[in-house]
């Protein structure tokens, strides 16, 4: 019995650690980014400059770099890379009305009463598409990642 309680306590402590760690952002100096990120941006986005970078844990638990690049004052884009600097996806804002019907239906079914905010389209390195939507209901905020068929890939509570 003591062993079971010890294991349960350890899992609870791990869950609390994961809960408090999710979504925490840390600004990273451009000079401290892996060189692979700079090489990728130069090769794929000529004329763009690295503007801001953050290191965060995504809803799948992976540590990633979110990098904002810009070309002039009006043209910016967010790119996400793994910890080694490999490109994962680009992110662009979309209107809620432009979300696929399958995603809208999934939100209505799985997150009844939640309002969608700040939806974005993720274009992965392989060309596939995902949708990230912030959902809010009262004091509960979630960030949910959907595939293009409306299946929930992962979610995390926003703090």
Q: pLDDT tens digits for 65-110?
A: 999 999 987 778 999 999 999 999 999 999 999 999 999 999 999 9
- The predicted structure's pLDDT at residue 16: 29
Residue 23, sorted as left (phi over 0), alpha (psi -120 to 50) or beta, turns out to be: left
Task: Return the pLDDT at 68.
Answer: 96
Each residue's pLDDT tens digit, 113-152: 999 888 999 999 999 999 999 999 999 999 999 999 999 9
Give which of 109, 108, 144, 127 is closest to 22, Cα–Cα. 144
State the greatest distance between any 2 C-alpha atoms of the chain, in Å, as a whole number: 64
- Strand 129-137 to strand 140-147: parallel, antiparallel, or no bridges (unpaired)? antiparallel
Token digits of residue 70: 């810009």
Q: Tell me: the pLDDT tens digits for 23-78? A: 455 999 999 999 999 999 999 999 999 999 999 988 888 999 999 999 987 778 99
Q: Within 13 Å and on the Cβ side, how many CA atoms surround 19?
A: 6
DSSP H helix total and E strand total for the chain:
3, 9
Set out the domains of the chain in order of their start, with CATH numbers.
25-157 (3.10.450.360)
pLDDT of residue 25: 54
CA–CA distance, 67 with 27 (Å, rounded to integer): 10
Residue 159 pLDDT more than 70?
no
Residues in Cβ contact with 122 at an 8 Å cutoff, skipping those fewer than 6 apart:
80, 89, 90, 91, 129, 130, 131, 132, 145
Q: Residue 24's pLDDT is what? A: 53
CA nearest to 58, candidates 142, 129, 155, 147: 155
DSSP H or E segment with residue 65: strand 63-71
Instruction: Report pLDDT for 22.
Output: 46
Global pTM reads 0.77
Angstrom distance (rounded) from CA 26 to CA 57: 10
pLDDT at 3 over 50: no
């Amino acid at each position: 019995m003591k062993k079971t309680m010890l294991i349960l306590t350890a899992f609870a402590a791990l869950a609390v650690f994961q809960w408090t760690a999710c979504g925490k952002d840390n600004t990273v100096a451009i000079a401290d980014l892996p060189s692979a990120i700079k090489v990728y941006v130069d090769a794929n986005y000529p004329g763009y400059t690295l503007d801001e970078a953050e290191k965060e844990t995504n809803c799948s638990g992976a540590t990633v770099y979110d990098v904002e690049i810009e070309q002039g004052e009006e043209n910016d884009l967010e790119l996400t890379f793994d910890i080694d600097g490999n490109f994962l996806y680009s992110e662009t804002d979309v209107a809620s009305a432009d979300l696929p019907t399958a995603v809208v239906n999934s939100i209505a079914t799985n997150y009844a009463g939640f309002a969608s905010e700040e939806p974005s389209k993720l274009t992965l390195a392989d060309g596939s598409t995902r949708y990230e939507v912030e959902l809010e209901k009262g004091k509960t905020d979630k960030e949910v990642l959907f595939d293009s068929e409306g299946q929930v890939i992962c979610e995390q509570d926003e703090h």
